Amino acid sequence: MRASATSTVDFEGIAVTGDEILGGWDDYHRQPVFSGGAWRFAAAQLGGIEAVFDAWRSHLAGTGRGGDPHQLARLGEGAIALEGARSWVERAARTVFDDALPPERIVAFVNLARLAVERAGLDVLRLAQRSVGLQSFLREHPLERLSRDLATYLRQPAPDRALTTAAEEILKAGGQAWGLWTRDGR
C-alpha cells in the first residue's frame, strides 16, 4: 500500500459533551456486532480480488495468451475462488443482519468467512502471478499495484484465533453439519 500514508491526530484539548457520546461504555466491543462486522472488510477484500482477477483476465486477452489450456485452467480456478469468496461474504452479511443465531455462532460463521476470503485472495494472487509471470511484478503493470495492495489488506489480525474459536463453536454446537448455521438446525 505504497500510495497510502499513516498519520496521527491529536484530540487533546477537544471537549466532548454527553450529547456527543454515542452508546454506553464498551458498546463498541459488544458481540456479535464487533467481530461480526468483519464481513465488511471481507467485502473490501472481495473487491480487491475482483480487481486482480479483472487485470489478470485483461492481460490474458490483451496478450493473446488466453487460449492456452494451462492459462484457461488457472483462470477457471481463479473464478472458482472468486465466486466462493463472494458467496461467503454474502452469506456472512445475511447471517449478521438476520440475527437468527446465537452471537457466538454468528461470530464463528463470520470468522470462517473472513478466512475463506483470505484464502481465495491468496489463491487468485498466486494464479494471476503464475499466469502473467514476471510482468506482474513490474511497477508499470496494473497487476503489480493491485496485487501488492491486496496482499497487504488480506493480512487481518489474529487469523489463527479466528479459526480456532470458530472450530470450538462448531464442536460445541452438536447436531448435523447441515444445521450448523441455521436456526434450530433446520
Cα dihedral across residues 120, 121, 127, 130: positive or negative: negative
Answer yes or no: is pLDDT of 44 > 90.
Answer: yes
Distance CA 148, CA 18 (A): 43
Q: Which pLDDT score, from 0 to 100, does residue 49 have?
A: 98
**pLDDT band with cut points at 50, 70 and 90 for residue 29:** confident
Please check whether residue 134 lies inside any domain of the structure: yes
Please check whether residue 1 lies inside any domain of the structure: no
Number of structural domains in the chain: 1
Please check whether residue 13 lies inside any domain of the structure: no
Q: Are 111 and 38 in contact (CB under 8 A)?
A: yes
Please check whether residue 7 lies inside any domain of the structure: no
Q: Which pLDDT score, from 0 to 100, does residue 26 have?
A: 83
3-state secondary structure 148-174: HHHHHHCCCCCHHHHHHHHHHHHHHHC
Please check whether residue 11 lies inside any domain of the structure: no
Q: 165: how many CB neighbours lie within 10 A of its CB?
A: 16
Give me the phi and psi of 82, to 5 degrees please: -60, -50
More confident residue, 6 or 180: 180
**pLDDT band with cut points at 50, 70 and 90 for residue 158:** very high
Q: Which pLDDT score, from 0 to 100, does residue 2 have?
A: 61
Which residue bears the cell 434450530?
Answer: 184
Please check whether residue 9 lies inside any domain of the structure: no
Please check whether residue 70 lies inside any domain of the structure: yes
State which residues form the domain around 77.
18-185
Q: Which pLDDT score, from 0 to 100, does residue 131 have?
A: 97
CA 33 to each of CA 4, 96, 101, 157, 169: distance values in angstroms, whole numbers, following the listed order? 28, 8, 13, 17, 17
**pLDDT band with cut points at 50, 70 and 90 for residue 52:** very high
**pTM of the predicted model over 0.95:** no
* Cell numbers describing residue 115: 478466512
Please check whether residue 166 lies inside any domain of the structure: yes
Residue 82: strand, helix, or coil: helix
Answer yes or no: is pLDDT of 3 > 80.
Answer: no
Percent over 70 (pLDDT), the chain: 97
**pLDDT band with cut points at 50, 70 and 90 for residue 32:** confident
Q: Which pLDDT score, from 0 to 100, does residue 186 have?
A: 53
As a whole number, the mean pLDDT across the chain is 93
Q: Which pLDDT score, from 0 to 100, does residue 7 have?
A: 87
Q: Are 114 and 162 in contact (CB under 8 A)?
A: yes
The CATH number that applies at residue 38 is 1.20.140.10
